[in-house]
Structure 1
Amino acid sequence: MKKIGIIMGSDSDLGVVEGAIDTLKKFGAEYEVHIYSAHRTPVEASEFSKNARKNGFGAIICAAGKAAHLAGAIAANTTVPVIGIPIKSSTLDGLDALLSTVQMPGGIPVATVAIDGAKNAALLALEILAVSDEKIAQKLDDDRAENSKAVLEKNRAVEEKYNK
């Protein structure tokens, strides 16, 4: 099984990133977590991304706030799929990070999830790996079925209470 890399620009992003870590744990996925800043540790970020495929990564999740150049900086040095999580900051409520993450130039794609959307970043990374891993694909199908069942149970409760 390929690994999923999780990189955050600062330890202040960890509170959000833990949502991705928890999701990957739930699925039994192999992952590594690092703090590399596009601006403060550009050499380390570059080295990680240049060697990602060789080191067994199948997808990389990058979380950053404010200028949020991390996902783009990582994507610039690898063809391993990169998923950006824009992190909400106190300045512009994450809109700055969202725009920085989603506005990539042609030729350097970064998939972008919602502001603070760590769980969906992890699920998207798992879906990428599931293209060639039937075990992960089955776990994702099972998870979707469980989610559907939970919503339908809530629907039944609401219908019983209000539809008389």
Structure 2
Amino acid sequence: VISAHRTPDLLDEYCAKLQEKEVKVIIAGAGLAAALPGVLAAKTTIPVIGVPLVAGSLDGLDALMSIVQMPPGIPVGTMALGKPGAINSALFAAAILALTDTGIAQGISAYREKQKQKILESELD
């Protein structure tokens, strides 16, 4: 766990290592002021997916607004609040990786087929 506000030096070190490790995509969950995704996007050229977490008196709305309102030139792909956003962030990251990895692409296709079958097999209420 790294906080953009509470551990900025650690975040700097982490960002430097990401480039060396050939990381292809970053998923960053953050609540409240939610600076982490934006700082990661500013300090690397790696695609960043931001997931606003439900927290604080605004139930994550502040995090959503912080992540979605990035200045031009520092993009962050922003997902929905909470668990749905976390799930979609993983699927979106997988889709990015699938551009150059057929195994991941096949896994995404299998997952979507499974989701489809689950719906088709469910009973209407």
TM over 0.5: yes
CA-based RMSD: 1.2
Percent identical pairs in the alignment equals: 47
Match of 1:128 among 86, 96, 99: 96
**Structure with greater strand share of residues:** 1
Match of 1:84 among 22, 43, 50: 50
Corresponding residue number in structure 1 for 2:121: 153
Deviates more, 1:40-49 or 1:58-67: 40-49
Q: Which runs of 5+ in 2 are unaligned?
A: none
C-alpha separation in 2, matches of 1:53 and 1:130: 20
Q: Which runs of 5+ in 1 are unaligned?
A: 1-34
Task: Give, in angstroms, the shift of residue 49 of structure 1.
Answer: 1.9
C-alpha separation in 2, matches of 1:75 and 1:49: 10
Corresponding residue number in structure 2 for 1:61: 27
Corresponding residue number in structure 2 for 1:102: 68
CA contact (8 A) 1:62 1:71 kept: yes
Higher relative CO (Cα under 8 Å, sequence separation at least 6) belongs to 1
What TM-score does the superposition give when structure 1 sets the normalisation length? 0.72
Match of 1:137 among 97, 105, 108: 105
What are the superposed Cα offsets for residues 69-95 of structure 1, whole Å, 9 maximum, x if unpaired? Answer: 000011101111101110111310110
Work out which of the two has the higher radius of gyration on C-alpha atoms and give 1 or 2.
1
C-alpha separation in 1, matches of 2:89 and 2:71: 21
What TM-score does the superposition give when structure 2 sets the normalisation length? 0.93
